[in-house]
Structure 1
Amino acid sequence: MSATPEFYPVNCHKAYHAHIYFDQQSVQQVTDICMQIEDQFGLKVGRMHQKLVGPHRRWSVQVLFSHRDFDVFVPWLDSAREGLDVLVHGVTGDEYKDHTDYAYWLGQPVDLDLSIFTERL
């Protein structure tokens, strides 16, 4: 299931992260997607964390990209994810807002541990 139009990621920041969530059964699928991201887009793909890292309560891999990549990369990722859930968020320096106000989901939202961030008022 793709993101609904009113919640589809919006290109309004200079930098972004995409966190692709996976499990033991989808390791090869996400490995293939990461290789395609590097080959087709030349984007920086982080380590595949087969453990919980940061606010993520599922295994994940992070992709770094910019506003210049956004309009081509995000629709491609939405199509290529084939059922995997993906968090796309802006990188603004306010990690709490990045993972809440500036967060969009491709697929189903995944619970995050936001307690590790300090909410700025």
Structure 2
Amino acid sequence: MSLLSNKHSYYHAHIYFDRETLNFAKQLRRSISKEFDLEIGELHQKNVGPHTRWSFSVTFDSERFTVLLAWLDNFRGDLSILIHALTGDDVNDHTKYTYWIGTPVPLDLSRLP
């Protein structure tokens, strides 16, 4: 993970998984829930929004940015994670204000409003 800039108030982390990594993703989701008091989205076993892989999201603020991203980088295994700002501009949030932990996953931006 490269040095990231924390310049927004709120963020989403989208943790991507597939059929082979589903059990690991479930355990990671439980671990996040135990470790942090954060809003954790459903474990989607389908593509949702612009996300072209199964995923679940974690919503967090700028105060938890550094700690959460370091924790995710440590415990994610081989899963890819998209971090993006929540500014209200979905296109910029998913293109301009993004960071990746692991291998980037293509997004389908045509699914954004």
TM tier relative to shorter chain: over 0.9
Shift of 1:116: 2.4
Look up the match of 1:70.
65
Q: TM-score, normalised by structure 1?
A: 0.89
**Equivalent pair of 1:43/1:64 in contact (CA under 8 Å):** yes
Aligned to 1:40: 35
Displacement over 4 Å in runs of 4+? none
Instruction: Say whether the 8 Å CA contact 2:52–2:108 is kept in structure 1.
Output: yes
CA contact (8 A) 2:91 2:109 kept: yes
Give the % identical residues.
45
Question: Are the aligned partners of 1:9 and 1:105 in contact in 2 as well (CA < 8 Å)?
Answer: no
Tell me if the contact between 2:49 and 2:112 (Cα under 8 Å) persists in the aligned partners: no
Q: 1:94 aligns with which of 80, 89, 92?
A: 89
Aligned match for 2:108, one of 82, 106, 113: 113
CA distance in 1, matches of 2:48, 2:83: 16
In the alignment, which residue of structure 1 is the partner of 2:54? 59
Cα distance between partner residues in 2 of 1:115 and 1:10: 27
1:106 maps to amino acid: I
Structure 2: unaligned runs, 5 residues or longer? none
TM-score by length of structure 2 reads 0.95
Q: Paired residue for 1:30?
A: 25
Question: How many aligned positions are there?
Answer: 113
